[in-house]
Amino acid sequence: MQAPAPDLRQRAPRSPRQRLGGFVFLPRLLDKGRATLASTNGDYEYGCLLDQRFFDFVVLEPEALEAQLAAGKSDAEVLQWILEHSGRELSPADIEAWSAQAERQVPSEAELRQVLSEQRHGHALESAERMTWFELLERNDRLSFGGNP
């Protein structure tokens, strides 16, 4: 069964906190990849800085995962493919440690400036100096679809 592409012009991708196979951020990444292939990604960019952190950890290229999404693979099938094709050994403990660190990660000052300049709601995110990446993404998602900061 082919996984549907979400319309990220109508709703945000899944929360960065949501997990798949222990990986935080992976469901969100899959939403953005599928939406990009369907040209329904809106303002969301597949392969962005945070996506690249995931790809660096699993030692895979974004294009390789994109090909799996283009083949219509489900979340479970993509997870299995990642575990089988990763350029590193991915133990549950390593995945948990990476995910825990990712949840606590705070953007550097330069990263925050870059994000604020690129985001449609950058002005509303300026008070986000000590927010984690995940808090920043969730706030931007709410603002993008009419919610309160």
* Mean pLDDT of each 10-residue bin along the chain, 149 residues long: 86 96 98 97 91 96 97 97 97 98 88 66 57 86 76
The pLDDT of residue 124 is 52
Q: Residues 6-20, buried b or exposed e (16+ Cβ, 10 A)?
A: bebeeebbbebbebb
Reading the block at residue 143, the tokens are 């603002």
The pLDDT of residue 146 is 76
Can you tell me the distance from the alpha carbon of 149 to that of 146, in angstroms, rounded to the nearest whole number? Answer: 9
Alpha helices (runs of H) in the chain, residue ranges in sequence order: 26-37, 49-58, 62-70, 75-85, 92-104, 109-118, 133-144
Residue 41 CB coordination number (10 Å): 21
The pLDDT of residue 21 is 98
Task: Tell me the whole-structure pTM to 2 decimals.
Answer: 0.89
Q: Residues 95-113, buried b or exposed e (16+ Cβ, 10 A)?
A: beebbeebeeeebeeeebe
The pLDDT of residue 108 is 80
Cα 42 from chain centroid (whole Å): 14
Can you tell me the distance from the alpha carbon of 82 to that of 98, in angstroms, rounded to the nearest whole number? Answer: 15
Reading the block at residue 94, the tokens are 């390593």
Q: Which residues contact 1 (CB under 8 A, 6 or more apart)?
A: 72, 74
Q: At what angle do helices 49-58 and 62-70 cross, to 10 degrees?
A: 90
Task: List pLDDT tens digits, range 3-19.
Answer: 789 999 999 999 999 99
